[in-house]
């Protein structure tokens, strides 16, 4: 996987456009003055979690005794589920969230630093550990773009509206489906190679 593919994949997984309505519904009880501070705090927590997974990726896989092919197949399946949800959303899905000043859950984890983002970073770190600088930069770019979109979400919602957000999210979901299938097929190929 090249640098730009990794960056785009991480950005699509973090799904900033799809997370705008969720962020707004979770933070509706938070004062306007404090809302931006809470968003920045949650975005920073998510970044620290993701960076930690990237740095410790190889050690985590070694400790759990997982092979790259297993992670690639599982990551592909998780990505596919997320992408399908982006393209075919379930309306009326309710989540239990804290009404006042949500801390870590659900904004930082799992909305930004979810299982698919973590699995992707573990896979990148274990498959090509010599390219850690590239993967770190890819993470920084994807996270930075996500942070910028979420922090500008009020303006974005005024400019493109709910329909525009949904259309963009569906397009990102379609591209993510293709990446998920490729990741799954790469994992199967690696597994078959290891068996022979």
The torsion angles phi and psi of 94, rounded to 5 degrees, stand at -105, 140
* Nearest Cα residue to 61 out of 126, 136, 112, 111: 126
Give CA–CA dist 162/155, Å, rounded.
12
Please indicate whether residue 89 or residue 23 has the higher confidence score (pLDDT).
23
The percentage of residues in the chain with a pLDDT greater than 70, rounded to a whole number, is 94
Mean pLDDT of 106-128: 88
Average pLDDT of the chain is 86
pLDDT in tens, 6-39: 999 999 999 998 888 888 878 888 888 899 999 9
3-class SS letters over 5-55: HHHHHHHHHHCHHHHHHHHHHHCCCCCHHHHHHHHHHHHHHHHHHHHHHHH
What is the structure's pLDDT at 111?
86
């Amino acid at each position: 996987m090249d640098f730009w593919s990794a960056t785009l994949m991480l950005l699509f997984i973090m799904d900033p456009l799809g997370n705008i309505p969720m962020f707004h519904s979770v933070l509706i009880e938070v004062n306007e003055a404090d809302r931006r501070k809470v968003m920045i705090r949650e975005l920073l927590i998510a970044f620290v979690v993701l960076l930690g997974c990237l740095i410790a990726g190889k050690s985590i896989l070694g400790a759990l005794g997982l092979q790259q092919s297993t992670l690639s197949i599982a990551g592909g399946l998780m990505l596919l589920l997320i992408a399908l949800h982006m393209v075919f959303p379930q309306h009326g899905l309710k989540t239990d969230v804290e009404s006042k000043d949500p801390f870590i859950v659900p904004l930082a984890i799992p909305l930004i630093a979810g299982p698919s983002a973590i699995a992707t970073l573990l896979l990148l770190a274990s498959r090509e550990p010599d390219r850690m600088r590239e993967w770190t930069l890819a993470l920084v770019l994807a996270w930075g773009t996500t942070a910028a979109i979420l922090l500008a979400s009020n303006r974005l919602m005024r400019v493109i509206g709910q329909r525009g957000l949904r259309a963009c999210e569906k397009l990102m979901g379609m591209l993510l489906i293709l990446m998920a299938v490729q990741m799954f097929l790469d994992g199967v190929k690696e597994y078959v190679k290891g068996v022979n």
